[in-house]
Chain A
Amino acid sequence: MILARELKKTFGNVQAVDGMNLQIAPGEIYGLVGADGAGKTTTLRLLCGALQADSGSVTVGGADVRTQTEEARAQIGYLSQRFSMYEDLTVLENIRFFAEVRGLSSRDWLPRSMEILEFVGLAAFQNRSAGQLSGGMKQKLGLASALVSRPRILLLDEPTTGVDPVTRQDFWQLIIQLVSQGQVSVLISTPYMDEAARCHRIGFMKQGKLVAEGTPGQLRTLLDGQILELRGTPLTEIRHLAERTQGVEDVQAFGDRLHLRVEANQALEVISRLETAIPASGGVLTSLRSLPPTLEDVFIALSR
């Protein structure tokens, strides 16, 4: 559906996107993750043509964004990170405006708008002004207006940031429903790893580049056998000790336990080193075992 080749974009002397290659298949949910400033938003804006790339190409459903701009845009539904509906218009007026400028006729827009408002659960609020909606409802309105013209690909830029867990859950149900009906592909950027885990494929961005790509399972195997869970007391001292231990790359505290990331094939050595070092320093080691890596672990490892 979307094919991006060697996309580059510079702002001043900041290389925001530096040679992105991206391919999204029909019916796929693709998650774009990465730390703040990694270039996710810029990438999405380049894909929908809101920004023009310095070099590289983007085609959407076969149409080149630069030369066949309107054809390409007709297939895209874009939900920007910042709320970008008109706050002084009502829900229905917003939907109507975006439906009409996207080419729905005066006969079609109303049934389609009601259908889509029904779908996102905003039908009861059609006459409320957009500025008075809650954060979650605003995002649903944005989604509705992106969907109203039946796009073939949805670009969602951190749609669930700052939204409560229940609404996030609702939002994802909507996306999964859309994709399972075979209507759209979805490219979603998100800072949440639990959301990334719901995607068919994930791309990790760092400094404007895609540094890893694959299914959630494939990405997790990147760190297979490199994550250890440690319990013991006193935790603070053990943490300092672990950080100094040879073969340990990173230590994260999770409440009453530590997650250690160790160098590849070093897990057994690290375990035996700690099993002697902790009692020697006067601490108590309750448990130390290997854990299956999470996407969060992968995210942190790739971000460093």
Chain B
Amino acid sequence: MNSRLFSIIRKEFIQIFRDKRTLALILVIPIMQLFLLGYAATNDVRNVPLAVFDQSNSPEARALLDAYRAADYFSVAYTAHSEAEIQSLIETGKARAALLIPPDYPVRLSEGNAQVMFILDGSDPSVAATSLSAAQLIGQNHATAILSQKVSRSGQNLKLQPPVSVSTTVWYNPDLISAHFMIPGVIGMILYAITAILTASAIVRERERGTIEQLIVTPIRSWELVIGKVLPYTILALFDTLEVLLVGNWWFGVPIRGSMLLIMVVSAIFLLSGLGVGLFASTIANTQQEAMLTVWMTLLPAIFLSGFFFPLEAMPQVLQWVSYLMPLRYYLSIIRVLLLKGVGISSILPDLIALTAFGIFIMGAAALRFRKRLD
């Protein structure tokens, strides 16, 4: 092995392990992020607090309420006694939804045209959207149940059934658990952020502390310096990947259905982009702070336009095009597929090619810009 390269790598590792605080951050932050996003960044709507104003006070109304209780989307949190009370409960945020049952509910029900009112707090659209469809579904099911009861009571012996029924099966993530979707995203984000920020600041630190002046006058070549600086952080980042995968699997039950080797290889290819961005930032920045901010500027668009939080399909066409420039986009789609579906290399090939091309392009451009000089 090239001994100069080896010396740089060893020196870098000594420095990493001597700076215990940074090392701890590198190892602990991914786990913190994992837990934070695994729990917080979820679209699963459970136990929306529901206020009920039952003006009929009838067994029929209680049956309807039971239907709402049975599905765990809502929990009946308040029993209100006036519309004004409902309004104040929703305004103060104590209840996110309200169900109003009119006094004539049993009468109208027997006539076959009962109506109840469902009020939703729309200030959080994603909660409201899920609650709305849940409320409608529960209502419909209840109505169907009443109807079929009625029919059977009227002595007709036919079982009432809707003419068409759609039977749904969800593959790969049957319970639609957000964590299974988020955790691959966390891996991608952490790989990108850690490699880019650490690489940039490791190189800029040499400039900031003046040590670059000694490095320059040694026979070290630019590429040796680049690889020697970048490789230790690659290894750390791959370690982080493994860490997040295993903790995600053990704690959140995120499946790892694809080949572990393939996952690590794809992650290593993705790292090229993060390292390249870090290297590029280091050629622009003069201080570690500048380097950090430069990386941040690329980090936010990368996260928002990668389909990490928001579905790409919902974005305006222009942003969808821009998203094709984000390496994180390809990595996320690959890693989600690999973890949840467990497919082989052939079905991820187009994304993998794009990811590799971006990695080589970014790394190459940054390496060309990188000069082992003071000016």
Contact = CB atoms under 8 A, between A and B. Distances in A.
Interface string B197-230: 0000000000001111111111111000000000
B7 A101 contact: yes
Interface of B: 3-4, 6-8, 11, 14-15, 18-19, 209-221, 373-375
A88 B213 contact: no
A167 B75 CA distance: 79
Contact of A86 (B15, B217, B221, B375): B15
Nearest to B19: A88
The 4 A-B residue pairs whose C-beta atoms are closest, nearest first, are A100-B7, A82-B210, A84-B214, A80-B213
Contacts of B375: 11, 51-52
Given A82-B210, A103-B3, 4 more contacts: A51-B375, A52-B373, A96-B7, A101-B4
A278 B216 CA distance: 60
A227 interface: no
B334 to A, nearest CB: 38
Contacts of B3: 100, 103, 105-106
Given A48-B217, A73-B219, A84 B210 contact: yes
18 contacts: A45-B213, A49-B216, A50-B373, A51-B373, A51-B375, A52-B373, A52-B375, A70-B219, A84-B209, A84-B212, A84-B214, A89-B18, A93-B14, A98-B214, A100-B3, A100-B7, A102-B218, A145-B214
Contacts of A96: 7
Chain A contact-residue range equals: 20 to 34
A95 to B, nearest CB: 12
A89 B11 contact: yes
Nearest to A71: B219
Contacts of A270: none
A51 B373 CA distance: 6
A149 B223 CA distance: 22
Nearest to A103: B219
Contacts of B214: 78, 80, 84-85, 98, 145
A45 B374 CA distance: 9
B373 A83 contact: no
Given A82-B210, A84-B211, A93 B218 contact: no
A103 B6 CA distance: 12
Interface in A44-84: 45, 48-52, 70, 73-74, 76, 78, 80, 82-84
B286 to A, nearest CB: 14
Contacts of A105: 3
A100 B221 CA distance: 14
A76 B218 CA distance: 9
A221 B11 CA distance: 52
A83 B373 CA distance: 17
B211 to A, nearest CB: 5
A80 B210 contact: yes
A156 B8 CA distance: 24
Contacts of A78: 213-214, 217
Contact of A93 (B8, B11, B211, B213): B11
Nearest to B218: A101
A50 B14 CA distance: 26
